[in-house]
Chains A and B, each alone.
Chain A
Amino acid sequence: MTTEAAPADGDPRRLLSDLRALTRRVRLDQRMTWTALLVLAVLTLVAIPFDWFGMQVDCAADGSCTFARRGMLYYWPAAMVLAYATIAVCYLRAARTRGLGTRVLPYAITGAVTTIVFPAAWLAVFLYFRSHPYPDQPLPYWYFVLDRLVMPWGMIGVALLVLVWLERNVGLLLFTAGYLALVLLVLPMDFGMNVGFGPPHIGIRAGMALPQLFVGIVLLLGAAGFARAGRRRQQTP
């Protein structure tokens, strides 16, 4: 950008193009995509032992089992608050080091809302089935998608969408679309309740742990990919 005054009869298109380029550079310098994905990956992977050891499994002599994922209920709300606070602080510190401010409030609000949604949905379902019988017909497909959306992994996808908007990041949009498709539509969240090895209480726990492991690895790979892309961008003159 040169220092001359923009003459009134100058090319406004070029001026606007220069301003757009400046805006793009600022947005790129504000990005910390890989940090957010890394924190969310760690959050997901650390949840596995909480879910495993906090799960209450009761099996009858006929082989039928019931289970309650108490560990998740205690772990996720607190962990989500901590994770979103960590991400917000990392964004602010990194931007400040680079000589910039940044917007984290929409992300913090989304983090707070998504933190509430999961235990609220769990409580709603719990209260509903206290006074209503369990349905004997198969539940509609949309119910499963909604159920997966309000789970912590679905809520991570929603928070990533807000990050896409804040960073105006097309790469992250594509990643998030793939992630949400995986979590909501593709990945079985219980691997049929039992992966088929060991006694039922081990099999059920493993069946719940595997999808979480898969989601954690996907987020880790995303973090590595965005970190590499960021480094490559910084090296490009």
Chain B
Amino acid sequence: MTDSAHPVLGLDEVVHQRVRLGILTVTHEARRVEFGYLRTQLELTAGNLSKHLSVLEQAGLIAVEKGYEGRRGRTWITLTAAGATALSDEIRRLKQLIARVEPARATGTAPKPQEAS
């Protein structure tokens, strides 16, 4: 994709999803995050969160480490280098999208159909 192409074209379908973006954001900020913390912050069921984590893990964006603290099992999630890059790319694309939409809103003109596609 060239720099002049519409930012929507560069959005990664694995990353461009509210929950998965949330997982990547929290993991990026925390460096390492526990399953329970993510579930609470993102207000998800364990099953739902597990599905999203599997998608991200299969894409190589996060690493999942299971272990025990005492007798209690704990699952820790860390961001991979690819995950950090994917997150920063996604945020850059979102900012580009906002920058594209804002001038159109300010002048009261809608973006051309070929630009939005």
Closest A-B pairs by Cβ, 8 of them: A101-B32, A99-B34, A99-B37, A101-B31, A12-B94, A26-B29, A100-B30, A12-B97
Known: A8-B8, A101-B30. A19 touches B25 (CB 8 A): yes
Beta-carbon contacts under 8 Å, B1-51 to A: 8, 11, 16-19, 21-22, 25-26, 29-38, 41-44, 48
Tell me which of A1, A26, A98 contacts B18 (CB under 8 A): A1
Interface residues on chain A, size class: 20 to 34
Q: Are B26 and A1 in contact (CB under 8 A)?
A: no
Report the minimal beta-carbon distance from A1 to chain B, rounded to whole angstroms.
5
Q: Are B94 and A3 in contact (CB under 8 A)?
A: no
Residues from chain B with Cβ under 8 Å of A6 in the complex: 16-18, 21
Tell me which of A2, A3, A23 contacts B29 (CB under 8 A): A23
Main secondary structure of the interface of B (DSSP, over half): helix
Tell me which of A9, A15, A25, A29 contacts B21 (CB under 8 A): A15
Which residue of chain B has its CB nearest to the CB of A16?
Answer: B94
Q: Are B25 and A23 in contact (CB under 8 A)?
A: yes
Residues from chain B with Cβ under 8 Å of A99 in the complex: 33-38
Instruction: Give 10 A-B contacts (CB < 8 Å), ordered by A residue.
Output: A1-B43, A12-B97, A19-B25, A22-B22, A23-B25, A25-B41, A26-B29, A99-B38, A101-B30, A102-B31
Bound Cα distance from A140 to B103, whole angstroms: 55
